[in-house]
Structure 1
Amino acid sequence: MKNWTLVFYGLMMIWCCLFGPTSCIQASSNSTSLKPQLVQDNSWWEIDKNHVLMIHSCQINLDAQKEKDWPWHNQAAQITKIIIEPEVTAQKSLHEMFSYMPKLEEIEGLENLDTAEVTDLGGLFKDDTRLQTIDINSFDTKKVIDMTFMFDNCRAITRLNLANLTIPETSDTGGMFRNMTNLWQLTLGAQIVFTKDPLLPPAPGDDRRLPIGDNYNHTSRWQEVGTGQPENPQGKWRTAANIYKLYDPSVQRSSRTFV
């Protein structure tokens, strides 16, 4: 009986020598791996008790096609704020990443989101009806081919500045500004190309008082600020269709602000 016991322990020691170190090496390798991948775990995001979505340093590599492809979609209706921490790198698609969040009012840290390898920003903020400000001028969009419905139904946004944004001629811009019914100030940079109608709404035109100055909006046409100021524009009057044509791929484009 003792001999069998010795044989058993001997075999156990041999197994540990052969396989134990390998297991430790694998565990160590996993623990020291680079930034977590979206498709591997959920350690890169969390939602706190105040319904704030926090996105930690990570590499996002998901070919998302709809809002339900994002792991927080079941809680999206309760999210009130998003915080993006430094060193968040994205690849492929961010399609509808922050969409359908009816209580979302603020996104902090969009400048921390590296989009240099992203090809799809379609519907990114779609149906965020309480979101008040968006600044994506830090986005690298040279490879983006889909910007459709990016700000669709963002009805709480009154000013949108895209002065430093690049929209390449290969990108689909259809419906980009659809249903932004309270937008009264829009800045478009010279690197913007509208390949398809972004469906910019007419100016409100309902005699509402503008947020700055003593001006009231009496017409559905937009006016270029030109040499003036947003509260005192001096440029030409434009319809939404005219603005679309000013950024056609075939024309010389320039930075303009419309109110």
Structure 2
Amino acid sequence: GLQTLDVSNFDTSQVTDMNNMFAGCKALQTLDLSNFNTNQVTDMAGMFSSCDKIQTVNVSNFDTSQVTNMRGMFSHCWELQALDVTKFDTSKVTDMSDMFYGCKELQTLDVSNFD
């Protein structure tokens, strides 16, 4: 299966829906999305769902100010160990159910900034 994925040159400036974008990439281990422009995105539901082997995913630069749906965004990421969501703007999010469901290896998770 796919273990690495280089998306550093993706132009996501006009993207509004990232629902299930990487869902089911069961062998993927790391993913650096630091160059992703997410300022137009409203739906991130299931974006990384069932990425069974992923240990780190860099979403620290995500602009989530327009996002309304984060349902199951990281669900079933069984081996995810580190995740920085401290800059997430969740003021418009109406559904966060199961957002971190099954993230049994996650060591720390700071959601103190979430609305």
Alignment of 1:33-182 (within 5 A): 103-108=1-6, 110-182=7-79
Distance, in Å, in 1 between the alignment partners of 2:103 and 2:74 is: 12
Q: What is the aligned-residue RMSD (CA, Å)? A: 2.3
Contact persistence 1:163–1:189 (CA under 8 A) = yes
Higher helix share: 1
Q: How many residues align?
A: 112
* Structure 2: 5+ residue stretches without partners: none
- Paired residue type of 2:108: Q
- Paired residue type of 2:51: C
Contact persistence 1:202–1:222 (CA under 8 A) = no
- Paired residue type of 2:71: G
Q: Which has the higher contact order (CA 8 A, sep 6+)?
A: 2
* Structure 1: 5+ residue stretches without partners: 1-102, 206-220, 225-237, 250-259
Q: Which residue of 2 aligns with 1:200?
A: 100
Higher strand share: 1
Q: CA offset at residue 170 of structure 1?
A: 3.6
Larger Rg: 1
Q: Determine what percentage of the aligned residue pairs are the same residue.
A: 25
Q: Which residue of 2 aligns with 1:183?
A: 80
TM-score by structure 2 length? Answer: 0.82
The structure-2 alpha-carbon separation of the partners of 1:113 and 1:203, relative to structure 1 and needing over 3 Å to count, comes to closer
